[in-house]
Amino acid sequence: MSWYQTSITLNSKARGCHLVTSEILRQVPEIKNYKIGMANLFLQHTSASLCLNENADPDVRTDMEMGLNKLVPENWPYIHTAEGSDDMNDFRQNALYEFVGILWKPAHLKNALIGASLNIPITNGKLNMGTWQGIDHMHLEEELLSLYKVKKNKMIERALWMCPTITVLMLRVKRAIT
């Protein structure tokens, strides 16, 4: 057995469900070198998720967004209002802080329900998914990039986390067991 690990960065996405199978495959061409293996995709983001879902009809992604919003409403009386000293201190002294807190709170709960990782078999150099399956990146919070630019120039550096990173770990099985 052998292991391969890499990190890739997805393009920034607006809130919603986005089919990213092709984007991932473009950034991890090494999958083609695996006859038998397993790919683990881990999204390093607490306000987004990965899932396998229908890839032919884009209405499914709209339905997913609507369903999640019904399960986890934005207007619950959430208690969580701070991301900790390393993340939210810049916001505490302005009105944007309250707005940002409202957007992140339901996203964290949705992430806990959906999950941040997938395990997908690799067969003959391809992800072995069903005919109609694709990898969806579910961005669960509002796009805050424009809000950051409105504030002090130092806030522009915060925009980098809007492009989520996925760590891809692949295990190659050299010999198939019969």
CATH number at residue 7: 2.60.120.460
Instruction: Kindly state whether residue 115 falls inside one of the protein's structural domains.
Output: yes
What would the mean pLDDT of 50-74 be, rounded to a whole number? 92
Instruction: Kindly state whether residue 18 falls inside one of the protein's structural domains.
Output: yes
Quote the tokens at residue 98: 């309250």
Average pLDDT taken over every residue of the chain: 77
The pLDDT value recorded for residue 81 is 58
The pLDDT value recorded for residue 83 is 52
Show the domain range for 72: 2-172
The pLDDT value recorded for residue 22 is 96
Q: How many domains is the chain built from?
A: 1
25, pLDDT greater than 70: yes
Q: pLDDT tens digits for 88-135? A: 333 334 444 444 444 567 888 899 999 999 999 999 999 999 999 999
Q: pLDDT tens digits for 129-173? A: 999 999 999 988 765 544 444 444 444 444 444 567 788 888 877
What would the mean pLDDT of 69-74 be, rounded to a whole number? 88
Instruction: Kindly state whether residue 41 falls inside one of the protein's structural domains.
Output: yes
Q: How confident is the model at residue 12 (pLDDT cuts 50, 70, 90)?
A: confident
Instruction: Kindly state whether residue 178 falls inside one of the protein's structural domains.
Output: no
Instruction: Kindly state whether residue 177 falls inside one of the protein's structural domains.
Output: no
Q: Which residue has the tokens 């522009």?
A: 156
Q: Which residue has the tokens 């120039």?
A: 153
The pTM assigned to this predicted structure is 0.77
Instruction: Kindly state whether residue 43 falls inside one of the protein's structural domains.
Output: yes
Q: CA-CA distance, 94 to 97, in Å (whole number)?
A: 6
- HSE at residue 24, side-chain half, CA atoms within 13 A, is 26
Answer for the pair 1, 172: CB distance below 8 angstroms, yes or no. yes
The pLDDT value recorded for residue 142 is 64
CA-based torsion, 88, 94, 97, 100: positive or negative = negative
Instruction: Kindly state whether residue 71 falls inside one of the protein's structural domains.
Output: yes
Q: What percent of the chain has pLDDT over 90?
A: 43
